[in-house]
Amino acid sequence: MKVAVLDIKGKETGRKAELSDAVFKIEPNEHAIYLDVKQYLAHQRQGTHKSKERNEIAGSTRKLKKQKGTGTARAGSIKSPVFRGGGRVFGPRPKDYTQKLNKNLKRLARKSALSLKSQESAIMVVEDFNLDQPSTKDFKAVLKALGLENKKSLFVLGDTNNNVYLSSRNLKGSEVVTNSELSTYKILNANNVVLLEGALEGIETNLNK
């Protein structure tokens, strides 16, 4: 599949990039996408939630009142869950939310996500570019030229580029990653995926292993 290569002004360069059918034109596997996105979201959870139970509460252990003859329920400790300030019954405890998926399934999910974006004509290829210094204004000019100013966009670089990354960091609707950081969730979460020419070889190599 061939796609026209654009420059940062949104104009065609006259060149075309060859996108591998094995990556960008497969039959999407929705279940693989579901599992990979589910794992990504689960891994965003810290799992540090915790509440104190009655044995962890600081307080007196004396018996509040005599066992019988009060006309009310028995009470053995101020730390009982039925009293204000007492421990919590079956409260949350720290938990590890990590999930394991095999590499082949994750590759299939990413290829499926890229193929879905390809079907929606939401993938564009832009020639490699650099910024002289971190500048949000300059990066917004690139977004405007590409028609992505008011859309969620994902820029995929071939190698780490601090100037481009720092320029996009303050923009809520735009994210910059390298080809090795590409994930199914990030692909689907963007309205448009912008692939720099230098990233194409790395993407196809990573997903065709």
Q: Domain 2-45+98-207 is in which class?
A: alpha beta
Q: What is the pTM of this model?
A: 0.84
Is 209's pLDDT higher than 80? no
163 and 144 in contact (C-beta within 8 Å)? Answer: no
Looking at the predicted structure, is the pLDDT value of residue 159 above 80? yes
**For 106-119, what is each residue's pLDDT tens digit?**
999 999 999 999 99
pLDDT above 80 for 23: yes
In tens, the pLDDT along 52-61 reads 999 999 988 8
Q: What pLDDT, on the 0 to 100 scale, is given for residue 79?
A: 94
Question: What pLDDT score was predicted for residue 68?
Answer: 93
Residue 1 has pLDDT above 90, yes or no: no
Q: Report the pLDDT averaged over residues 21-38.
A: 95
Q: What is the 3-state secondary structure (H, E, C) of the chain?
A: CEEEEECCCCCEEEEEEECCHHHHCCCCCHHHHHHHHHHHHHHCCCCCCCCCCHHHCCCCCCCCCCCCCCCCCCCCCCCCCCCCCCCCCCCCCCCCCCCCCCHHHHHHHHHHHHHHHHHCCCEEEECCCCCCCCCHHHHHHHHHHCCCCCCCEEEEECCCCHHHHHHHCCCCCEEEEEHHHCCHHHHHHCCEEEEEHHHHHHHHHHHCC
Q: For the chain, which residues make up each domain, given as ranges? A: 2-45+98-207, 48-96
Q: What is the pLDDT of residue 63?
A: 92
pLDDT at residue number 208? 86
Average pLDDT, the chain: 93
> What's the confidence (pLDDT) of residue 117?
96
Give mean pLDDT, residues 171-176: 93
The predicted-structure confidence for 135-157, as pLDDT tens digits, reads as follows 999 999 999 999 998 899 999 99
Position 61 scores a pLDDT of 86
